[in-house]
Amino acid sequence: MTATAHAAPSGTAPKGRGGIVQSVTDSLVMAKRNLIRMVRIPEVVIFGLIQPIMFVVLFSYVFGGSIQIPGSGTSAQDYREFLMAGIFAQTVTFATAGAGAGIAEDMHRGLIDRFRSLPMARGAVLTGRTLADLVQTALTLVVLAIVAALVGWRAHDGVLNALAGFGLLLLLGYAFTWIGALIGLSVRTPEAATSGGLVWLFPLTFISVAFVPSQNMPAFLQHLAEWNPFSATVVAARELFGNLPPHYPVPDAWPMQHPVWASLLWSVVIIAVFRTLAVHKYRSTAR
């Protein structure tokens, strides 16, 4: 008995089995591939740790004692308590640049075209990459928390609240890696993806309550800072860590009054919007 082979139309990738199970399986396979790649290039992880550790040390000892925290004072310890949630949040969001550069490199080397030719779920390549970045970010956050503890930072509201605070930080970081994925698919080189992933992050992180209270800003910047999704997660983490001074004046903006819910809402919206855009871009980009 002979079988007749029917060639697939030119330019059409083989189709997988489909379904949620297939999508999850393919995503985990791609995540494993990216994690193995990270382990084989340890300098990427090491250099990724240097910058946040430098921020912890420099901000703690250079600015500590010179910035007044409303409801508290200007002691270096008070500022460390206020600062660390901002450093943690900045670290997880800066993973955006790495996610974008990694996807842009795969595009540049033609790996994305090879993945398209395989019978896998169309979103698996991007989901696997973002999950691998999440694991790397979590490891970085653990090291950073240890360094923060060494310079005097403490979480005062118990282990469960502290874990919830770190969970919100990682959720924000995961949301931002989808922005990085979209940037990586939209540019031609890894260098452009790195620059594109950082150029908007600096104003986002500094026009926030991460390093100074919004009360110290001009009026128009206060509103931007208080409705910034980055600020919502920073304040939520401070609240869960027990790092807000007892008499800290909470701004009237809704995200500052309900930071945990605001942080969750912002992160979920960012994931929903940018995952949709990134997967659509992945499907439509022809290289």
78-117 pLDDT, tens per residue?
A: 778 888 999 999 989 988 888 888 888 877 777 777 777 7
pLDDT above 90 for 161: yes
Q: Distance between CA atoms of 146 and 148, rounded to whole angstroms?
A: 5
Contacts of 6 by beta carbon, 8 Å cutoff, 6+ apart? none
The per-residue pLDDT for range 12-40, each reduced to its tens digit, is 444 444 578 888 888 888 888 888 887 77
The per-residue pLDDT for range 38-76, each reduced to its tens digit, is 777 777 777 777 878 888 888 777 776 667 676 665 566
- Tokens of residue 189, six digits: 């080189």
User: Cα angle vertex 187, ends 183, 192, to 5°?
Assistant: 90
b/e 146-178 (16+ beta carbons within 10 angstroms → b): ebbeebebebeeeeebbebbbebbbbbbbbbbb
Domain boundaries, the chain: 19-284
